[in-house]
Structure 1
Amino acid sequence: MSIYLSKCASASVLREAEAARRNRLEIVRALSQGQVSRRELIKWGVFTSGGLLSATHGLSPFVRSSWGAIPTGVPRSPLFGAVAFTQPLLRFDVLTPGAMTTMSPAPTREANTTLQAVSPLLGGGYGPIEGRPPGAIWAHQGFDDPRCAPQVAFQATQEGAKANAAGVYRPEVTARLNCDFDPATMPVEFRFHPRMPLQRSDKVWTFNGTLPPKLVMGRYGHPILFRHHNRLDPDQSRNGGFGIHTISTHEHNGHHGAENDGFTGAYFFPGQFYDYHWPIVLAGHTSVNKDATDDRAGTPRDDGGVDRIPGDWRETMSTHWFHDHMFSFTSQNVYKGNAAMFNIYSALDRGNEAIDDGVNLRLPSGTAKSWGNLDYDVNLMLADKAWDRDGQLNFDIFDFDGFLGDQMTVNLFWKPFFNVEPRKYRFRILNASVSRFFKLALSDRSPMIQIANDGNLLPNPVVLTELDEQGIAERYDIVIDFSRYALGTRVYMVNLAEHQDGKRIAEDLSLSEALSGNSDDPCVGKFLEFRVVLPLSAPDQSRVPATLIPNPDLSAIPVARERVFEFGRGGKQTTRDPVSSYFGPWGIETNDGDMLAADFGRISAAPRYGTREIWTLKNGGGGWDHPIHIHFEEGQVLARDGSARKVPPWERGRKDVYRLRPGGTVKITMQFRDWGGMFMEHCHNTVHEDNAMLLRWEIDDGGTPMLRPLPTPIPTPQGVTFRDPDDVLRTAY
């Protein structure tokens, strides 16, 4: 079976695929624009009752035929004469922090329900300016607590692609360290390569509508208020054939109240904003080290010192990201560009490699500022993409196994190069794909040092010549020492993971196989070139210590409950609400119950506040690979496939995404502390998530305002209403 049309495909095969693409496009457009529902498509025979596209020639170019299955549904993306490694990799665009007094209107503890006119395209009338659900239940937890009250303000818009004007882009490094790109005089046009077409504003939606992707830099003890403005077109039909203009922003693995978690059913509309309160506190801040006496639990000061903060220093986090979590549209909206990164700095990981205070780990970063230096600390967002014959971003919303693009991008640039000095660099690598896994190596088999997984520094660094398979949403922080190379050397980052479909990796190739160019998967091989061309500007003062952050010891905390979640196919829908319920080929089974399709009005688990539980995650079989994400609390892996010995070193730290692998199981333990509300658990192959592999769970204390069970928000442009849960599983409590 081939996954993309061969370069030597016959003219008749190309015509067949293109005709199928055009025929299906009308249905894609109608479904994505809300003109028809999936239930109507079942009646018409376009979908099967299981939620799969009917295998009909002339409609589905990935049905069986003489030329196999083609998940992209189109011929390979044209390159328009672009040559690999001829454009620079630009650093992330750092969002500008501001004082809380700059926010207008001022943020409020409960949602701001001031009325404004609503576009006739959204039903007209009047609705609130803030899309956050109103009232005490969705009020910002800890908003009036001096330890958690917001101190730093960030604002960003969600809008269509446009140029990043000269003088606006802020890489926070010199032009020399950004491949000689001068942001003061040079605009950044929105195209994947200078020889490729500009992206249309209905095809790509990013933070502020611009390239490169955005980066928020925060530090513990300095809580953030992130105001997200929805400036997408209120006309739902102007979406370029995929994506929806309602959004919900999830700060991935953020330790804060559910009102700020980007709950899939708490979305907001064009013309509204949503104030997200990210307190950035150490987990356990209400029960561990409450008097802030431990030097290792701290935040970096501007003068080079440290302020102590309460909480468990072993719960310190470093590399996060945030992205859309709109119900049943997450894959489409993230693919369109709704993804950014978030670096968190601490006394342990302060982003200054020279300060030697006995706490700072002195990881590669730089020395100019007391904290948050990015000179040698580089964010990399990896994502496969596909575009049509006009060069416009393309997506197949009918590929329920998992969508695969055929072109590799780094920070949304196609196969770029990056200039480095002969010294140690830290790379924070995010897999921001929809369904693709990666397995990374350097082209000369040189070692890399993995220091973090999922935003959490490992107990000990791990030296590898090939990283483990990296699931969707996982973050791998690695250190590469370029001092081993002579000036003028070029070395490449290589992807070894070959896909044949969106189910899983088909095969991990050897380095020589991946470099041969013989794979049918166009995303195998070199995708980022490192050029060791910059003379060393100053001595490398960074280090990678043998001990990073040990895991918290949970042995003294009793286990209140054990739960089992199985992820598989054949999820049935027991509720029929057109807003909160969804059907699809996927589902989740809880505690040996039914395999259920997603409904954000259903409560599947409700652990008690202040308790610890053990959860077993099971793959239901079928040869699939599911990267499972549990919101809010990071966990520790106790066993893989029933054995603690099968947990590899790079999974022995704290995690928030758990690879199940075909037929596999993972047993984890988690605590439920500090905050409450409704959270989610789902497969982060976002195509699986959007097609019903998602559930809601919640934490409450049984008192006001955290009622048991919590009412479900139902958003409209004219205001959010609440209703009782659609369903509460008998084993939830």
Structure 2
Amino acid sequence: MSPRITRRRLLGTSAAAVAAAAGGGWLARSGLLGPGEPGRLLPSQVPLPRPYQVPLPVPPVLAPVRSDATTDYHEITQRPATLSILPGLPTEAWTYHGSFPGPTIRSRTGRRTVVRHRNTLPHPTVVHLHGGHTPADSDGYPADLIMPAGGSTPAHVGHHAGHHAGHHGGHEPGRISVGERDYTYPMRQRAASLWYHDHRHGHTGVAVWRGLAGFHLVHDDEEDALRLPAGDRDIPIMIADRSFAANGSLRYPLIDPDLRTPGVTDPYMNGVLGDVILVNGAPWPVLRTDRARYRLRLLNASNARRYRLALDPPAPGGGLVQIGSDGGLLHRPLTHHTIDIAPAERFDVVVDFSRYRPGTRVRLVNRLGTGQTAHVMAFDITDATHDDPGLPERLSHIEPLDPARAAVTRTFHFQLRPDHGWTINGHPYRPGRPLARPRLGTTEVWRLISDFHHPVHVHLDPFQVISRNNRAPGPYDAGWKDTVDVRPSEAVEIAIRFTDYAGTFMLHCHNLEHEDMAMMADFTTT
């Protein structure tokens, strides 16, 4: 956890931070962010439960309401719900279909998925399929609001959403729907672990914190042929820290409880950290496992917290075998002793629990945490043993993007500025002002330069990490990515090939407090 950072202190250090991002080491030397971890802890006001007391919940799979020759149709109601998260206390949440996480949607490559979202919450919402290769009108542009069913459009919301980027690719950003909206996902993409969450302009942080997040898993024939762990041994793992008020409600430091003014109070400008680690909505749960291989689809759904995940006790040779990244399968398995995972990143890993004796408790721990936040969940190994096929040496073909053939190289500075706060290239977010206009069918190199810690997410197409500070990519950069962890005073180069869909899309920091306080930008494909 970093030292206290106020709005005044952050703005006062902005000029030096910008200079550091250009090549100095000021942030590291200053001690402002300690080891470089973002955020400030928001303590809960209730006694915290002991870890490993409740079983790991697995989100239910949402069945289609109907299917035809080309398409599966789903329906989700966004609604308030009272959940049992902490022992003996009710927690009011905003949910997809009454649960946190929301139900898991399963799709298949080449088969279209349509999801109708109905909003019965007290506030507008937007749905973004994170990692989805999606047309602009279904991408979850932050001003494409679904107003509450039966409600009217508040004047401040209509004005806020009405600044749009014009008409691109058959879609005018800033279009408002009342009650419900259909999102169409063509699924012209490979198998991958995606997730869906709220993306309303200025209010994503509070909406996700209060429960609006769920998995969307894509399958294809290539992945099926590998005979990876499946069924009960293929488990989505959503990790999210939260804080709780004395009455059991989710505690969040809004600057305006009525949600008219976006953002959080001064001490939490650099991110909100909770002191309860939830996995699939349960505090520090435990899973009974056979002595067999399991596939764990790890997702960091925290607003700002980074994790360094490890198994304790460790398995010989490194127990976390990565088979996939944000955008699906890697070329080959990679073995890790630890995995650093920033907000919105996904790591598909296989863990071979046959390496442990029956009766062993294996903990998944967070090496960046302290106290209770150093714990994540546990696995209790039973005496049931199953033969599993080993992992193949080759998983998939990853076509490398050649930066030498890039049509354009662009630079994006993620900065804190005294005059504007969190910005990209010196500007706070304004809908309708694209910072780039890439042409479909071309590859571009984007250079992402940071002052503080920023997990940068690009909509529409996945990318490949080319370099960090003009050196090789890091140990967690392999494969196709849609979110990259850009550390303080760092320049990361990524290569992106833009395909299929013309329109207006997003580039932003996925520290949700940074995002809500204007660290976003439009780009328009033509």
TM-score (norm 2): 0.82
Candidates 54, 67, 75, aligned match of 1:155:
75
Kindly provide the CA deviation profile for residues 5-43 of structure 1, in whole angstroms up to 9, marking residues without a partner as x. xxxxxxxxxxxxxxxxxxxxxxxxxxxxxxxxxxxxxxx
Q: Does 1:78 align with 2:46?
A: yes
Q: Match for residue 485 of structure 2?
A: 659
1:90–1:212 contact (8 Å) kept in structure 2: no
Q: How does 1:177-576 map to 2 (within 5 A)?
A: 190-193=83-86, 195-200=87-92, 204-211=93-100, 213-233=102-122, 245-271=123-149, 272-282=179-189, 316-350=190-224, 360-365=225-230, 374-396=231-253, 397-398=264-265, 399-446=268-315, 447-467=319-339, 469-498=340-369, 519=370, 522-524=372-374, 526-533=375-382, 535-536=384-385, 539-555=386-402, 558-570=405-417, 572=419
Paired with 1:254 and 1:442, the residues of 2 have a C-alpha distance of: 30
The answer to whether the aligner puts 1:585 opposite 2:433 as a matched pair is no
Measure how far apart 1:83 and its partner are.
2.9
Q: 1:596 aligns with which of 412, 416, 427?
A: 427
For 1:688, the equivalent position in structure 2 comes to 514
SS at match of 1:332: helix
Q: CA offsets per residue over residues 206-236 of structure 1, 9 Å max, x none? A: 1112245321111112110111110113xxx
Deviation at 1:49, TM superposition (A): 12
Does the CA-based 8 Å contact 2:287-2:380 persist in structure 1? yes
Quick check: which one's strand share is greater?
2
Within the candidate set 467, 470, 481, 1:639 is matched to 467
- Amino acid paired to 1:280: M
Deviation at 1:604, TM superposition (A): 1.2
Q: How big is the shift at 1:611?
A: 1.4
Contact 2:331–2:394 (8 Å) recurs in 1:
yes
- Structure 2 unmatched runs, 5+: 13-38, 150-178, 254-263
Q: Secondary structure at the match of 1:535?
A: strand
Cα separation, 2, equivalents of 1:410 and 1:476:
15
Q: Which amino acid aligns with 2:294?
A: Y
CA offsets per residue over residues 394-452 of structure 1, 9 Å max, x none?
Answer: 01121211101011110110111111100000000100000000000011122221111
Q: How far is the alpha carbon of 1:638 from its aligned partner?
A: 1.3
Contact kept in structure 2, 1:77 and 1:407, CA below 8 Å: no
What is the CA deviation profile of residues 321-375 of structure 1, one whole-angstrom value per residue up to 9, with x for unaligned ones?
011110011111011111001111101112xxxxxxxxx111111xxxxxxxx31
> Which position in structure 2 is the counterpart of 1:99?
66
- Percentage identity across paired residues of the two chains: 32
CA distance in 2, matches of 1:100, 1:477: 29
| TM-superposed deviation, 1:48 | 6.8
1:556 shift after superposition = 10
- CA separation of 1:544/1:682 partners in 2, compared to 1, >3 Å: closer, same or farther? same
User: 1:392 Cα deviation (Å)?
Assistant: 1.4
Moved over 4 A (4+): 1-4, 46-52
Contact 1:557-1:612 at 8 Å conserved across structures: no
**1:24 corresponding residue in structure 2:** none
What is the distance in 2 between the residues matched to 1:317 and 1:658?
Answer: 19
Aligned partners of 2:358, 2:7: CA distance in 1, in Å?
58
RMSD of aligned alpha carbons: 2.4
Q: Which has the larger radius of gyration?
A: 1
State whether residues 207 and 214 of structure 1, in contact with CA within 8 Å, keep that contact through their aligned partners in structure 2.
yes
Residue 617 of structure 1 corresponds to: 448
On the 8 A contact 2:366/2:376 being kept in 1, the answer is: yes
Q: Name the count of aligned residue pairs.
A: 456
Determine if contact 1:361/1:543 at 8 Å carries over to the other structure: no
Displacement, 1:543?
2.9
Maintained 8 Å contact 1:318/1:343: yes
Mark the runs of 5 or more structure 1 residues left unpaired by the alignment. 5-45, 53-69, 102-148, 163-189, 234-244, 283-315, 351-359, 366-373, 499-518, 573-583, 590-594, 701-733
1:224 corresponds to which letter in structure 2?
A: T
Q: Report the alpha carbon displacement of residue 100 of structure 1 after superposing the two structures with TM.
A: 4.6
Higher relative contact order (Cα pairs below 8 Å, separated by 6+ residues): 2
* Distance in 2, Cα, partners of 1:47 & 1:625: 16
Segment drifting more, 430-439 vs 387-396? 387-396
In 2: Cα distance, 1:465 partner to 1:427 partner: 15
Q: Helix, strand or coil for the counterpart of 2:232?
A: coil
Secondary structure of 1:689's aligned partner: helix
CA contact (8 A) 1:192 1:414 kept: yes
Q: Residue 436 of structure 2 aligns with which residue?
A: 605
Distance 1:205 1:321, change over 3 A: same
Task: Say which SS state the counterpart of residue 452 (structure 1) adopts.
Answer: strand
2:89 alignment partner AA: P
